């Protein structure tokens, strides 16, 4: 067990959650008393540009899962661990509760809690041979209708293989972290967060034979918007970045070169979080 040294910490507080106002100041004082420089970044918008000072050792994220997704997007190429503290009910990503923040920081300094390296997706939109959009996500990328008519027509390729044509309300490409989000609601499987894999999940497919598919994290997925759509089509990443798509656009999805580094809880692991969130209690029956 190796101790960790902190020199500079960035506290990212979701200012829409009033609990973050006082707690961010409390944590900043706690760190400063230990000669650790602390900066508070107050965010109210999902697309607010995040400024990270050089030499930042750790980011403490105060909010919920959405705040973690925001942090992961801006930190994905910086290699800075994220210690996420949930200010409400437990999220799937935020394992540390609001009354455990001091213990979590102490455990981090003592090297007791580990860092989970989470696969992220890199998304690009190619239009007439040119890249017109690029973005990163920790949970998922979604292509859906933006109009009244919900059904859209897509072509899917995995690597060099044409994997089929989809007539559906949409298509989700999710990471293991995102397997408990929109993909799960659409009937996709739950994956262990440490796997290197992607989930292809159709949303309300017109053909019942179209089922969720788990593929290698090394796979390159291509989605083509077929001609003659009867509705507008939107790309969404983690529910925070959106981009309007056109007929014949090609969306390329692959794993990012870097990963989100999430500090784990010493009190509960991923399986325990899933068990409690999904109420896997056996209806009150215990061995």
Neighbours of 89 (CB within 10 A): 10
CA 251 → CA 78, 223, 241, distances in Å?
25, 5, 14
CB 106 within 8 A of CB 4: no
**pLDDT score, position 44:** 83
Q: What pLDDT is recorded for position 286?
A: 52
Domains of the chain, residue spans: 8-118+259-284, 121-255
The pLDDT confidence band at residue 280, using thresholds 50, 70 and 90, is confident
From CA 79, how far away is CA 262, in angstroms rounded?
10
Q: Helix 101-110 crosses helix 19-32 at what angle (to 10 degrees)?
A: 40
- Tell me the whole-structure pTM to 2 decimals: 0.91
Question: Among 9-18, 120-129, 201-210, 263-272, whose mean pLDDT is lowest?
Answer: 263-272
Q: With respect to CATH, is domain 121-255 assigned 2.60.200.30?
A: yes
C-alpha span between 258 and 27 (Å, rounded): 28
Residues 107-147: tens digit of each pLDDT: 999 998 889 999 999 999 999 999 999 999 999 999 999 87
Q: What is the pLDDT of residues 169-218, one digit of tens each?
A: 999 999 999 999 999 999 999 999 999 999 999 998 887 778 999 999 99
Residue with tokens 């109210």: 44
> Domain 8-118+259-284: which topology?
Rossmann fold (3.40.50)
Catalytic residue numbers?
65
Q: How far is CA 220 from CA 126, 186, 225, in A?
A: 14, 22, 17
């Amino acid at each position: 067990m190796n101790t960790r040294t902190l020199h500079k910490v960035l506290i990212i507080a979701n200012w829409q959650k009033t609990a973050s106002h006082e707690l961010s100041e409390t944590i900043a004082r706690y760190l400063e008393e230990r000669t650790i420089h602390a900066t508070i970044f107050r965010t109210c918008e999902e697309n607010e540009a995040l400024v990270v000072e050089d030499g930042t050792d750790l980011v403490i994220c105060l909010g919920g899962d959405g705040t973690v997704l925001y942090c992961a997007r801006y930190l994905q190429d910086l290699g800075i661990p994220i210690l996420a503290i949930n200010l409400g009910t437990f999220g799937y990503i935020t394992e540390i509760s609001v009354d455990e923040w001091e213990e979590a920081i102490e455990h981090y300094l003592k090297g007791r809690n580990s860092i989970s390296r989470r696969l992220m997706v890199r998304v690009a939109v190619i239009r007439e041979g040119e890249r017109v959009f690029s973005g990163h996500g920790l949970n998922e990328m979604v292509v859906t209708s933006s109009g009244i008519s919900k059904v859209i027509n897509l072509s899917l390729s995995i690597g060099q293989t044409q994997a089929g044509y989809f007539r559906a309300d949409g298509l989700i490409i999710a990471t293991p972290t995102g397997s408990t989000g929109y993909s799960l609601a659409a009937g996709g499987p739950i994956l262990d967060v440490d796997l290197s894999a992607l989930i292809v999940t159709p949303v309300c497919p017109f053909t019942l034979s179209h089922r969720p598919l788990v593929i290698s994290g090394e796979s390159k997925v291509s989605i083509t918007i077929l001609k003659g759509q009867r509705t507008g089509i939107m790309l969404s990443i983690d529910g925070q970045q959106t981009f309007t798509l056109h007929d014949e656009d090609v969306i390329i999805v692959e794993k990012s070169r870097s990963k989100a580094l999430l500090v784990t809880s010493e009190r509960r692991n991923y399986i325990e979080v899933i068990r409690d969130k999904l109420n896997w209690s056996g209806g009150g029956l215990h061995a």
